[in-house]
Structure 1
């Protein structure tokens, strides 16, 4: 439906987007994930028509958007700051685009009221139409901004970090609400975020951006379980990443030790990144450990051959509600994180400063050139 072809945009000579191509499908929720400065908001501004690309083309339903002004594109935009009119009621904010559109404004006030009331009901604000925007909460303002955008029936809705200003509980509720609203209306959403959990939980597909390029465009489970590069794994904030090189003996050497490689990794590469997800690591006891180890040391033999193992000293833990993150320090001072989900069993107790073995199936590791 919406296609970006080789988009390039520079500001003061610095590239914001570099030859970027991607598509937004009909009736799809597409999330864009990346760090600050990766080009996410620039892409939205080009699609909306607020900025003009230096090179490349945008097409909507096969028709070029190059040179088409923003108000004629049929594309809605919800900014991070909501940009509501403080001197207007909630109702009048939502009605603004219907009444004052430069293309086909709605002159019949009964039609305006009907459409605004329907939209306020859809976003859960049916009883707040007469309130001023200064009298409602941040989450309600977010819904007003969304309703104002959707009431004019855009073909595409662009959301620039729409949940960034909300508290954690409200952000979680709005995650569900946005997907529900999109599904009911059948409008394609493109949602920019710097939060990896938000991107994975909301998107039908996820685009990982960095330095103006799309590193991976895939379904959330593929991005999470099989990131196609160490850079993507780093943005997910769920992987321990070791930098080193492949050895002649078929291992991976880094300053903290040497690890066995998965069978699928070619051995004819030099520099490499070795990644293992936090929740794939088990903590095992070692000789001399005082207490807290739930598993015995792994013996030599076939079981050990299938595992990657590293000695590490326990530092501390961090409780996050549904999980605990344990922190361990390797011989080279690198800190390794181990995620333990509390639904599994009673959490382990480790002794600060004691030595343990971090172990995981070697086939669970991802190794990149």
Structure 2
């Protein structure tokens, strides 16, 4: 189990991490979701030992690792750009850590060859060892980077936006493969991403990093359907978050959230009387195949979105620039800190 306690890191006046408490259980695929600049990569670099925290402790199985050199931590790191050696073959890239690591380097060529081959088989690259890394696809290079990490048998694997350089079809396939590989190995993966879809798809658990802290860590379905903070709701890209004073029909203070698919639209004054209402101007629509998004602007400038599933359309014909009542039942509402 990886445990971070009260981890803080600043760069001059910029606070990247502010007292982070975070646990990655054993034998778990953990997704860490955060916006650009939220400190995700900084957190990984602290765990790996490329940087040290200003305050706090990092431990694996209750043994502190902060302050140790990176090569002594038994932690694997898969970089977003793969960081392969272009002049080496696939097999030599995978074997590099076995031959040249500072701790317990191997010099038995047979053992190195056997372990390299096992790692290539594990990631689906049997028969690719002789190829140059410039002669294989992006997805295959991603697997080489993963094999190079796994061959050294780390206690935990850190993945820094590992699918960001891949096209959409390949990204979906690699999601399945990464989960299958992790399950076979029985080690924990900590997968950093800015994509809520990727985080929810990959993680047994998903943690949201915002404002330098973990704002929520839960199973994917709980995080999506029951965000505990406005920051967590915004990261799901499925919730409208807005000031409760915009609602007619109920005195609600503080920031609240309603999911895109739980809001409806009616002409002004025509919303059901038992629903809460927000007056907003229709801006435009966006067609996404089986669904369509409609965009509205509330009186305080907040952008609101409503999703319509085209197999069962529920929204009326909307006219750009016209004002409507966006309405929802009270049980669709989530209230956060400061709400009464």
CA change 1:283–1:13 in 2 (3 A) is closer
Taking the TM superposition and a 5 Å limit, the aligned residue runs for 1:12-27 are 12-27=12-27
Counterpart residue number, 1:280: 262
Counterpart residue number, 2:303: 335
CA change 1:30–1:357 in 2 (3 A) is same
Q: Decide which of 285, 292, 310 is 1:317's aligned counterpart.
A: 285
What is the TM-score normalised by the length of structure 1? 0.84
- Which structure would you say has the larger Rg? 1
Counterpart residue number, 2:248: 258
CA change 1:26–1:350 in 2 (3 A) is same
Contact 1:260–1:362 (8 Å) recurs in 2: no
Distance 2:126 2:290 in 1: 35
Taking the TM superposition and a 5 Å limit, the aligned residue runs for 1:111-150 are 111-150=111-150
CA change 1:111–1:320 in 2 (3 A) is farther
Answer yes or no: is 1:105 the counterpart of 2:70: no
Distance 1:341 1:277 in 2: 14
Q: Give the drift of 1:331.
A: 5.1
Q: Give the drift of 1:29.
A: 0.9
Taking the TM superposition and a 5 Å limit, the aligned residue runs for 1:151-166 are 151-166=151-166
Distance 1:19 1:224 in 2: 25
Answer yes or no: is 1:359 the counterpart of 2:327: yes
CA change 1:89–1:329 in 2 (3 A) is same
Distance 1:95 1:102 in 2: 14
Taking the TM superposition and a 5 Å limit, the aligned residue runs for 1:216-295 are 216-243=216-243, 252-254=244-246, 258-260=248-250, 271-284=253-266
Distance 2:57 2:302 in 1: 45
Contact 2:263–2:328 (8 Å) recurs in 1: yes
Distance 2:11 2:150 in 1: 31
Runs of 4+ in 1 over 6 A off after TM superposition: none
Contact 1:313–1:352 (8 Å) recurs in 2: no
**Alignment: residue pair count:** 336
Q: Give the drift of 1:336.
A: 2.1
Taking the TM superposition and a 5 Å limit, the aligned residue runs for 1:44-63 are 44-63=44-63
Distance 2:314 2:287 in 1: 11
Q: Give the drift of 1:44.
A: 0.8
CA change 1:358–1:50 in 2 (3 A) is same
Counterpart residue number, 2:317: 350
Question: What's the C-alpha RMSD, in Å, of the aligned pairs?
Answer: 2.2
Counterpart residue number, 2:177: 177
SS in 2 for 1:21: strand
Deviations, residues 58-113 of structure 1 (Å, cap 9, x unaligned): 11112111332111111000111110000011111111111212222222222222
Q: Give the drift of 1:238.
A: 1.4
Q: Give the drift of 1:319.
A: 2.2
Q: Give the drift of 1:313.
A: 4.5
CA change 1:104–1:320 in 2 (3 A) is same
What is the TM-score normalised by the length of structure 2? 0.91
Deviations, residues 194-228 of structure 1 (Å, cap 9, x unaligned): 11111112111111112321111222222111111
Q: Give the drift of 1:311.
A: 4.7
Taking the TM superposition and a 5 Å limit, the aligned residue runs for 1:75-90 are 75-90=75-90
Contact 1:253–1:259 (8 Å) recurs in 2: no
Contact 1:314–1:350 (8 Å) recurs in 2: no
Contact 2:47–2:66 (8 Å) recurs in 1: no
Contact 2:31–2:191 (8 Å) recurs in 1: yes
- 72-81 vs 355-364, which moves further: 355-364
Answer yes or no: is 1:37 the counterpart of 2:27: no
Distance 2:218 2:117 in 1: 37
Structure 1 stretches of 5 or more lacking a match? 244-251, 262-266, 288-296
